[in-house]
């Protein structure tokens, strides 16, 4: 019984879901970052290239797809344009809309990024097996569904610094 109480009172980071999700994503991001750096690009550049459709994509749709704020997206698009990987063109039907299109070099770099993602996923499938990968994807999809429903307003209690034994506060 004491062990249960100690566990409930003092939770180690590695006993939490968010620790492992963050740790895994940091590892994946580092790996993709190294692959991209070897090509003179960044992981964010590769992600953007993978999200641009054949007929072009309105720049306003790229931010939400990638989880980026307007300022960061603007900087990224300027960088992609400076590298000659994209071009921005007014939409034929609505001149107010700016569509982002891949250049020939952008298509090549997108294909390299796609190959890197597919190779990583195949390697992970080889390591874990297709069934475990399928379960992992289902579990992560469910995690994302649950995150949207998480009642954040009800979970943050008003407590003083002495109330939390896990706190590093003085």
Please identify which residue in the block is written with the tokens 């692959």: 35
- Rounded distance, CA 33 to CA 46, Å? 9
pLDDT per residue over 34-86, tens digit each?
999 998 999 999 999 999 999 999 988 998 999 899 999 999 999 999 999 99
The architecture that CATH gives domain 16-145 is Orthogonal Bundle (1.10)
pLDDT per residue over 57-71, tens digit each?
998 899 899 989 999
The distance from CA 137 to its chain's CA centroid, rounded to whole angstroms, is 14
Q: How many of the other CB atoms lie within 10 Å of CB of 86? A: 28
**Per-domain boundaries in the chain:** 16-145
- Rounded distance, CA 170 to CA 161, Å? 8
Task: Find all residues with CB under 8 Å of 157, minimum gap 6, and list them.
Answer: none
């Amino acid at each position: 019984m004491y062990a249960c109480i100690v566990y409930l009172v003092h939770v180690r980071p590695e006993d939490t879901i968010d620790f492992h999700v963050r740790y895994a994503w940091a590892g994946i991001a580092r790996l993709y970052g190294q692959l991209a750096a070897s090509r003179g690009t960044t992981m964010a550049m590769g992600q953007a290239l993978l999200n641009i459709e054949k007929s072009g994509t309105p720049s306003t749709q790229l931010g939400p797809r990638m989880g980026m704020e307007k300022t960061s997206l603007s900087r990224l698009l300027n960088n992609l344009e400076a590298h000659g990987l994209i071009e921005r063109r007014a939409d034929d039907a609505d001149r107010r809309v700016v569509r982002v299109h891949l250049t020939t070099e952008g298509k090549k770099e997108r294909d390299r990024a796609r190959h890197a993602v597919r190779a990583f996923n195949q390697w992970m499938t080889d390591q874990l097996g297709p069934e475990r990968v399928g379960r992992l994807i289902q579990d992560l999809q469910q995690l994302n569904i649950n995150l949207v429903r998480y009642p954040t307003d009800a979970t943050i209690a008003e407590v003083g610094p002495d109330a939390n034994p896990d706190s590093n506060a003085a």
